[in-house]
């Protein structure tokens, strides 16, 4: 049960006036299921419109209100993804296209009968030789005076929703907001000049007031910090087991290289943690090729030497199989029994693994999320290693940790270099080790920037590369072409590039992107990993966890459209073997200053941590903060700037509440508990309930 003060906020959106089954689907796509979801669906921006008498008065890119009379409806051919256009003229006879995509075309047919004047509000743009307004914000029969505010909020939409409809739902949500006790310390509230919670939400929907937005962002950051500190406190409270190995198994490892200083330092930090009864909770950050696997193997062998089992969790079956093969080869001299468990393991194979885990004959397990299912039990799990930590939520990691007789030690790993300013936001409950140097002898990747108009030369070079028996990647920014949208029409699409390259190279080419069925994607990856396919055309779905040493060429098309962190991760797919590798960054004709700076930095350095910091400075958080990770909510309210400005304060405030109030028992601490429910930091809620 959640605290009853919050119950009005969790009422279903179906209880809103005017919401029926037809609206539930588009609302669901936006994650707007309850009153609180709608209340926190803040405007993306505010627009100021001006009324114009004819199209000649409006400039491209301006938000306008104008009277237009439809003269013709133009539908795309049946079955195509093309737009639906309504040609309309102003009082002077100038023509403008009112353009809709997808199912919104049905709305256009009803709203804009030929010959009947309507007042249209939206952004005036140009497509080819014609002016157009894509998905008008308002279509009204009455005059401009009745079209609402000339300055109004603009909300993120999904197909089937309009700005007026979402604005009406927001009004209903704000009317239902309850009074809640204050969780921010009064002195801090006064010093910052922040409004009360309810006033802040209302103001954020009505204006660009920075104080209101900061207040709401601080609430989210405080909730996140509290949840992470609760996890850390729970780990310390639970009784763990000190694991100290005798070094016998580690001495048998035959590593073909000497450890770097960073690897040796990280191994010592991990061994020190594992020697304590309090369960270790440590993050190992390592750039592409920095040697995280060896550090993790050292920790796992320490657990086995101490008579315990270790489990390594990977986000995909392909990556788990790669880990299994790598570790099995390295473990051969030690005699340690290792097994692989994924969702594909069936029948006797699966039963044999489950028995081996229960009787302890399997000492080390590698697998996907299948390794923490209810039917999987361990004799004595002492260490959990979570690879690509950002793909898993805290709750998923806790589920695996619950498999031990006592709380196992946990080592999380990520190959995505994270700026220090963001590490606290994502991993505030963990101690951090950094692998900030590469193993000796690793060859630098030859990175070149090439104009897009030299495409024929690039394809010829690719042909020579493949003819020499090597493999290559070709990455595009989009899955497929989208006609009729000026901002998207010229973006390189993986499906179209695949078709062209397949015509040239035949069955040597495979395609992978996120919209393919999992079995189709896995089959293509298997063909490439095994060497049956020589060229993999893909989107950024391959940026993490793909390890094919024979692939020594990476082509990234329209590289200026990618963030630095993405470019670095994609480049890291090559250079993983003994052969010299090359990364070709194909750029468009016109580059912004930011795009030029990105590509110059990629040529200059391969230091992922420096690149991550520069990426943050150049473009903001991007996928570091803007996406939802599996099982774990991202920041929906707090922007990158707010995280950098206010996170240290929120974390210190959370720590003060936890340490001074002994786990949120004061009046303010009780109020702060509401935040865990409000922002759905479920692992924090679970720990508060004692679950």
Tell me, yes or no, whether 178 lies in a domain.
no
393: left (phi over 0), alpha (psi -120 to 50) or beta: beta
From 127, 154, 181, give the residue that closes a domain: 154
- Domain count within the chain: 4
Q: At what angle do helices 640-660 and 210-237 cross, to 10 degrees?
A: 50
- Does residue 277 lie within any of the structural domains? yes
Query: By the 8 A CB rule, do 194 and 218 touch?
Result: yes
How much is the pLDDT for 12? Answer: 94
Pair 259, 408 in one domain:
yes
Residue 370 lies in domain: 238-435
What are the tokens at 554? Answer: 């990476």
Identify whether residues 430 and 450 lie together within a single domain. Answer: no
How is residue 312 written in tokens? 């390594």
Structure confidence at residue 399 (pLDDT)? 73
d(CA 9, CA 678): 8
| Terminal alpha carbon distance of the chain | 13
pLDDT reported for residue 425? 67
In a domain, 6, yes or no: no
What pLDDT was estimated at residue 488?
44
pLDDT in tens, 417-430: 777 667 776 666 78
- Nearest of 558, 563, 556, 564 to residue 538 by alpha carbon: 556
Domain contains 610: no
Decide if 75 is inside a domain: yes
State the pTM of this model: 0.68
Q: Find out whether 68 and 118 touch, Cβ atoms under 8 Å.
A: yes
- The reply to whether 17 falls in a domain is no
Residues in the chain: 691
| 329 and 297 both lie in a single domain | yes
pLDDT score recorded for residue 541 = 80
Phi, psi dihedral angles at 58 (to 5 degrees): -100, 140
Q: Assess whether 332 and 418 both reside in one domain.
A: yes
My answer on whether 339 and 420 are in the same domain is yes
For residues 530 and 665, membership in a common domain is answered with no
CA 407 to CA 410: how far, in whole Å?
9
Q: What is the pLDDT of residue 631?
A: 34
Residue 624 in any domain: the answer is no
Query: Does one domain contain both 320 and 415?
Result: yes
CATH number of the domain to which 120 belongs: 2.40.50.140
410, 435, 460 - which closes a domain: 435
User: What φ, ψ does residue 139 adopt, rounded to 5°?
Assistant: -130, 110
Note whether 170 and 202 are within 8 A (CB).
no
Q: Which helix (H) or strand (E) holds 585?
A: strand 582-587
Same domain for 651 and 594, yes or no, is no
Consecutive sets of 10 residues in the chain, 691 residues long: mean pLDDT of each?
A: 86 92 92 95 89 89 92 82 89 93 74 92 89 89 61 86 90 96 94 96 92 96 88 76 94 84 95 93 84 94 97 85 89 95 85 94 92 88 83 64 82 79 70 82 85 92 93 89 49 86 93 85 87 92 75 92 85 83 89 84 86 72 36 69 88 88 80 89 61 45
| 230 within 8 A of 662, measured Cβ to Cβ | no
Residue 16 domain-assigned? no
The CATH number covering residue 574 comes to: 3.40.50.300
- Which of left, alpha, beta for 558 (phi over 0: left; psi -120 to 50: alpha)? left
User: Do 270 and 414 belong together in one domain?
Assistant: yes
Same domain, 97 and 224: no
In this structure, what token pair is assigned to residue 111? 């709203």
The residue from 119, 154, 189 where one domain ends is 154
Q: Are residues 242 and 216 in the same domain?
A: no
- Say if residue 209 is in the same domain as residue 283: no
- Ramachandran class of 494: left when φ > 0, alpha when ψ lies in -120 to 50, beta otherwise: alpha
| Measured distance CA(476)–CA(452) in Å, rounded | 13
């Amino acid at each position: 049960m959640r605290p009853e003060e919050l119950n009005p906020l969790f009422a279903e959106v179906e209880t809103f006036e005017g919401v029926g089954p037809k609206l539930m689907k588009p609302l669901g796509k936006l994650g707007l299921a309850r009153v609180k979801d709608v209340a926190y669906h803040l405007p993306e921006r505010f627009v100021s419109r001006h009324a114009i008498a004819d199209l000649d008065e409006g400039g491209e890119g301006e938000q306008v209100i104008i009277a237009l009379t439809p003269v013709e409806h133009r539908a795309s051919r049946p079955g195509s993804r093309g737009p639906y256009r309504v040609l309309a003229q102003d009082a002077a006879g100038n023509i403008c296209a009112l353009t809709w995509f997808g199912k919104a075309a049905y709305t256009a047919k009803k709203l804009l009968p030929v010959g009947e004047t309507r007042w249209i509000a939206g952004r005036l743009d140009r497509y080819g030789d014609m002016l157009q307004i894509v998905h008008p914000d308002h279509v009204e029969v009455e005059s401009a005076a009745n079209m609402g505010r000339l300055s109004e909020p603009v909300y993120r939409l999904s197909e089937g929703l309009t700005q007026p409809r979402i604005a009406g739902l927001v009004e209903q949500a704000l009317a239902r907001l309850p009074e809640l006790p204050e969780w921010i310390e009064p002195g801090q509230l006064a010093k910052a000049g922040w409004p009360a919670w309810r006033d802040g939400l209302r103001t954020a929907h009505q204006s660009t007031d920075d104080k209101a937005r900061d207040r709401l962002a601080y609430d989210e950051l405080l909730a996140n910090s509290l949840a992470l500190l609760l996890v850390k406190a729970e780990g310390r409270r639970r009784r763990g087991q000190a694991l100290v190995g005798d070094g016998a198994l580690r001495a048998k490892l035959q590593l073909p290289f000497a450890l770097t200083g960073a690897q040796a330092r990280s191994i010592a930090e991990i061994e020190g943690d594992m020697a304590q009864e309090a369960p270790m909770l440590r993050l190992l950050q390592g750039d592409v090729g920095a040697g995280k696997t060896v550090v993790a193997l050292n920790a796992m062998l320490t657990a086995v030497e101490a008579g315990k089992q270790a489990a390594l969790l990977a986000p995909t079956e392909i990556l788990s199989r790669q880990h299994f093969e790598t570790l099995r080869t390295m473990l051969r001299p030690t005699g340690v029994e290792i097994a692989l468990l994924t969702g594909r393991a069936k029948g006797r194979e699966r039963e044999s693994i489950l028995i081996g885990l229960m009787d302890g004959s399997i000492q080390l397990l590698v697998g996907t999320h299948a390794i923490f299912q209810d039917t999987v039990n361990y004799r004595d799990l002492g260490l959990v290693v979570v690879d690509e930590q950002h793909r898993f939520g805290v709750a998923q990691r806790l589920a695996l940790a619950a498999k031990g007789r006592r709380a196992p030690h946990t080592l999380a790993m990520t190959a995505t270099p994270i700026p220090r300013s963001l590490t606290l936001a994502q991993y505030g409950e963990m101690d951090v080790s950094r692998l900030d140097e590469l193993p000796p002898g690793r060859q630098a990747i030859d990175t070149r920037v090439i104009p897009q108009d030299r495409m024929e030369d690039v394809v010829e070079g690719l042909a020579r590369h493949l003819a020499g028996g090597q493999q290559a990647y070709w990455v595009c920014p989009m899955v497929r072409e989208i006609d009729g949208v000026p901002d998207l029409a010229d973006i390189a699409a993986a499906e179209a590039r695949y078709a062209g390259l397949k015509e040239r190279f035949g069955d040597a080419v495979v395609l992978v992107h996120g919209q393919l069925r999992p079995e189709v994607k896995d089959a293509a990856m298997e063909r490439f990993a095994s060497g049956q396919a020589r060229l993999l055309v893909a989107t950024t779905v391959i940026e993490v966890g793909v390890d094919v040493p024979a692939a020594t060429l990476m082509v990234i098309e329209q590289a200026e459209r990618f963030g630095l962190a993405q470019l670095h991760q994609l480049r890291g797919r090559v250079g993983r073997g003994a052969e010299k590798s090359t990364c070709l960054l194909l750029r468009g004709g016109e580059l912004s200053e930011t795009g030029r700076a990105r590509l110059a930095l990629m040529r200059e350095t391969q230091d992922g941590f420096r690149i991550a910091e520069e990426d943050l400075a150049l473009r903001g958080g991007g996928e570091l903060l803007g996406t939802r990770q599996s099982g774990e909510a991202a920041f929906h309210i707090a922007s990158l700037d707010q995280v950098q400005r206010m996170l240290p304060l929120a974390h210190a405030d959370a720590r003060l509440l936890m340490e001074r109030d002994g786990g949120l028992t004061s009046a303010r601490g009780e109020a702060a508990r509401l935040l865990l429910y409000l922002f759905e930091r479920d692992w924090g809620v679970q720990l508060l309930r004692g679950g």
